[in-house]
Amino acid sequence: MSLDLFFDPKSVAVVGASRQKGKVGREIVVGLVSGGFPGKIFPVNPNAEEVEGLPCHPDLKSIGTVPDLVVIVVPPKFVASVMKECAAVGVKAAIVITAGFKEIGAEGRQLEDTVMQIARRAGIRVVGPNCLGIMVPGRKLNASFGGDLPAIGGVGYVSQSGALLIAILDMARANDIGFSTMISIGNKSDVDELEIMSALGQDDQTSVVAGYLESITDGDRFVRQMEKISQDKPVLLIKSGGTGAGARAASSHTGSLAGNETAYEVIFDRAGIIRCDSVRTQFDYAQAFVHQPLPPGRRVAVITNAGGPGIMTADAIERKGLTFARLTDETIARLTENLPSAANVNNPIDVLGDALHDRYEFALDVVLSDPGVDAVIVVLTPQAMTDCMETAAAVLRAAKKIPDKTILASFLGGLKIAEAARLLRRGGVPQYDSPESAVTTLRVMCDYVAWRNRPKRVVKLFPVNRRKVEQIIERHLRRGVREIAEMESKEILEAYGFVTPKGMIATSAEQAAGIADQLGYPVVMKIWSPDIIHKSDVGGVKVALNSPQQVMDAFDLMIYRIPKKMPGADIHGVLVQEMCKGGMEVILGMNRDPHFGPLLMFGMGGVTVEVLKDVAFYLAPITAEEARDMLTRTKAYQLLEGVRGQEGVDIAAIAEGIQRLSQLVTAFSEIREMDINPFVVGPEGTTPVAVDARISVEKT
Ligand code: ADP
Ligand code: MG
């Protein structure tokens, strides 16, 4: 069923309507009446004759018709019986405002389950319990105790916190933000954030979907749905609290580097969701998305009446990775001709401190029609002669003339610019306290455009030996072994097209030397024990052994020393392995988030990865473009490309490794965590080698 009955009901009953001041049951009726709700309002209370001038009904049945929406505000212990009544009369939509359910513990949870069971059986959709209600200003519907309806506007807001919503309402009034819908979902026992956001995604009155979320109910569905919504409209979310995935003990580098927040970052990225760290930034972005066109490109021009703020804006543009627009000769000529000779006619364009609105308007008109300019930031400081209001009006006029380029304003100051700021905001040109905020907003808009225009996601499938991997994993799970050791991990990798170094296990020094002779020098030796996870930590890795003697010595030393460091470790022998020379060490890994699935990791630095923490995460399955994008997100990406005469490495080969890993972990949900560390990559045209690997599995 659609959620229309919640957003556009023709009649609303309030069960628990009250005459008592300060009671929620009264506030809801007051909200409906004073908001001017055009439909029927039915207060229900057996002990009252009338509430807010409306006749009161003893129960739902006695209303005589079935209300489209029922708002329930009775004490928790009565909610179940009211829900039964709703079922009996055929109600299909209810908002349970009442708190005291699952949020208070086991007893409340049970009560909530009972209520929801009744609702489910009767096909009643429920918002709440423990919520603030719903506001739809455009329909004059205020079924909440959040106070007066906000202004009508393009933002559809969903909040898991009712209290925050009240603060947002107040802030919105002060900042001229209008809403299509505001809804508090409380314990979201039935209707959840995803359903609401999907509805807002389809709603013509909503141009920006915004929200505050603490938890996400269904990770997989969330990603898929949100990707669809973001394709149409920007989604601005504040997300607090982690997934808890990072809290579990991790046995891999990837697991320990995947923090609480990683999963959210990754899925927000995939779904095109714009993450906001505060209501302030959410409003900053929202006003731009609602009122301004998306920037056609990243080239920004700045018009200012003050040098310092102009430079600050230019700095921010540079820092945020936007492009400083180069004005055409024609634009410069027109500016030179018409502005005072002291004015700066190059970007940032300085119209000088004594500029009145006409100079701003002229400069704006000229710059906006320059084909090399995608967006303009208008900066102003209120100097003695500045006519702030007229200038604001001039900016609005110019914006109207060229509606396909993004215009943001940053009038700096406090009292002197307050009125002009309001005029700008109400006229649809977003105004920012600082040039930095304007630039950040512009950057966010550009990123959103890039996301929307991203190439169609095509995940490449490589021919692999899936059966082989299945067998190895099955064998481990059957025996209850969760850690797949190096040798078998490498068999798995080989089955998925990775190259691993040749090697064999030796159980005596002589045998080790024999294997080394066969492999050719230099060789690497590694302790072979199912109990030792990080071999180098215990002196269990020796590289660059160049002769049979060195091999035999290394063998003896390991067998002698390691049991002292790790008493009780079951040592099966020593692996003698061919040594890969040169190349750069990187790590490829995966950590499976219980809600969102496999998070792939790419990082720099092999064994030092946890120190450098220079890593990037992405959700599998991954495309070739995304895999490359992962690499560019690391700080040390330049090292991969080659710097200062140092040869770079084969970037496409790393990207292919990430894609193969992606295919492996997508095919086997039993793989919980894994590292390929190091993954040694050489110059272009060489094949990277998976030198070490660890895979841990669990039954699904
Ligand atoms: P662990 O991670 O358990 O300590 P590794 O097998 O990853 O053990 O080895 C540790 C380090 O030794 C690697 O990061 C790499 O620098 C080096 N190394 C190990 N094996 C080889 C090899 N075959 N060729 C080149 N270097 C190697
Ligand atoms: Mg290693």
Task: Compute, in angstroms, the gap from residue 691 CA to the centroid of ligand 1.
Answer: 6
Report the alpha-carbon angle 111-112-114, nearest 5.
65
Q: What's the CATH number for 584-697?
A: 3.30.470.20
**Smallest CA separation from ligand 1 atom 15, residue:** 678
Is any ligand 1 atom within 6 A of the Cβ of residue 577? yes
Q: Nearest ligand to the C-alpha of residue 532?
A: 1
Query: Three-state SS for 163?
Result: helix
The per-residue pLDDT for range 61-81, each reduced to its tens digit, is: 999 999 999 999 999 999 999
CA of 534 from ligand 2 middle (Å) equals 7
Tokens (6 digits) for 523? 């060789």
CA of 580 from ligand 1 middle (Å) equals 10
Residues 671-693: tens digit of each pLDDT: 999 999 999 999 999 999 999 99
DSSP label of 588:
E
What local confidence, expressed as pLDDT, does residue 1 receive? 57
Indicate where the chain has its CATH 3.40.50.720 domain(s): 4-214
Cβ–ligand 1 contact at 527 (below 6 Å): no
The residues with which 587 forms a beta bridge, in sequence order, are 603
Q: Which of 669, 691, 587, 487 is nearest to 256 (CA)?
A: 587
Q: State the average pLDDT over residues 500-525.
A: 95
State the average pLDDT over residues 99-112.
Answer: 94
Name the band, by pLDDT with cuts 50, 70 and 90, for residue 612. Answer: confident
CATH superfamily membership of 4-214: NAD(P)-binding Rossmann-like Domain (3.40.50.720)
Give yes or no for residue 579 CB within 6 A of ligand 1. yes
Cβ 35 vs Cβ 92: under 8 Å: no
- List b or e across 92-110, with b for residues whose CB sees 16 or more CB atoms inside 10 angstroms: bbbbbbbbbbbeeeeebee
DSSP 482-551: -EE-HHHHHHHHHHTT-B---EEEESSHHHHHHHHHHH-SSEEEEEE-TT-SSGGGGT-EEEEE-SHHHH
Q: How many residues does the chain have?
A: 700
Residue 544 CA: which ligand is closest? 1
User: What is the Cβ-side half-sphere exposure of residue 135, based on CA atoms within 13 angstroms?
Assistant: 32
Range 242-261 average pLDDT: 63
- Does the Cβ of 692 fall within 6 Å of ligand 1? yes
Residues of the chain with CATH 3.30.470.20: 584-697
Distance 690 CA to ligand 1 centre (A): 10
Classify domain 294-452 by CATH number. 3.40.50.261
pLDDT above 60: residue 200: yes
- At 326, the amino acid letter reads R
**Which ligand approaches the C-alpha of residue 680 most closely?**
1
Among protein residues, the one whose CA lies closest to atom 10 of ligand 1? 536
| Ligand 1 atom 17 nearest Cα | 543
Q: Which atom of ligand 1 is nearest to the CA of 606?
A: 14
List where CATH 3.30.1490.20 sits in the chain: 502-578
Is the Cβ atom of 535 under 6 angstroms away from ligand 1? Answer: yes
How confident is the model over 171-189, as a mean pLDDT?
Answer: 95
Mean pLDDT of 690-697: 93
Tens-digit pLDDT profile for residues 618-675: 999 999 999 999 999 998 898 898 887 788 899 999 999 999 999 999 999 999 999 9
Check residues 308 and 643 and name the one with the higher pLDDT.
308
The residue whose CA has the least distance to atom 5 of ligand 1 is 692
pLDDT computed for residue 445 by the predictor: 98
Say if ligand 1 is within 6 A of residue 486 CB. no
Q: How far is the CA of 605 from the centre of ligand 1 (A)?
A: 12
| Atom of ligand 1 minimally distant from the CA of 532 | 3
pTM here is: 0.88
Q: Is the pLDDT of residue 256 over 80?
A: no
Cβ atoms of 596 and 618 closer than 8 Å: no
Q: What is the mean pLDDT of residues 486-506?
A: 94
Residue 452's pLDDT band (boundaries 50, 70, 90)? very high
Q: What is the pLDDT of residue 152?
A: 97
**Burial classification of residue 559, based on how many CB atoms lie within 10 Å of its CB (0-12 exposed, 13-18 middle, 19 or more buried):** middle
**Mutational test site, ligand 1, from 534, 543, 686, max ligand atoms within 8 Å of CB:** 543
Q: What percent of the chain has pLDDT over 70?
A: 98
Confidence of residue 246 (pLDDT cuts 50, 70, 90): very low
User: How many angstroms separate the alpha carbon of residue 662 from the centre of ligand 2?
Assistant: 19
Average pLDDT for the chain: 93
CATH 3.40.50.261 domain position(s) in the chain: 294-452
502-578 architecture in CATH?
Answer: 2-Layer Sandwich (3.30)
The pLDDT confidence band at residue 355, using thresholds 50, 70 and 90, is very high
Helix (H, G, I), strand (E, B) or coil at 357: helix
Ligand 1 touching residue 676 (CB < 6 A): no
Whether the CB of 305 sits within 6 Å of ligand 1 = no
Among all ligands shown, which has an atom nearest to the Cα of 676? 2
Q: Which two tokens stand for residue 65?
A: 């018709």
Mutate to test the pocket of ligand 1, among 256, 541, 558 (most ligand atoms within 8 A of CB): 541
How far is the centre of ligand 2, averaged over its atoms, from the C-alpha of 590 (Å)? 14
Closest residue by Cα to atom 23, ligand 1, is 579
How would you write 362-407 as a 3-class SS string? HHHHHHHCCCCCCEEEEEECCCCCCCHHHHHHHHHHHHHHCCCCEE
Q: What is the pLDDT of residue 247?
A: 47
C-alpha of residue 90 to centroid of ligand 2, in Å: 64
Rounded CA-CA distance 608/490 in Å is 21
Answer whether 678 contacts ligand 1 (Cβ < 6 A). yes
**DSSP bridge partners of 633:** none
H/E segment holding residue 584: strand 584-593
The predicted model gives 274-297 an average pLDDT of: 96
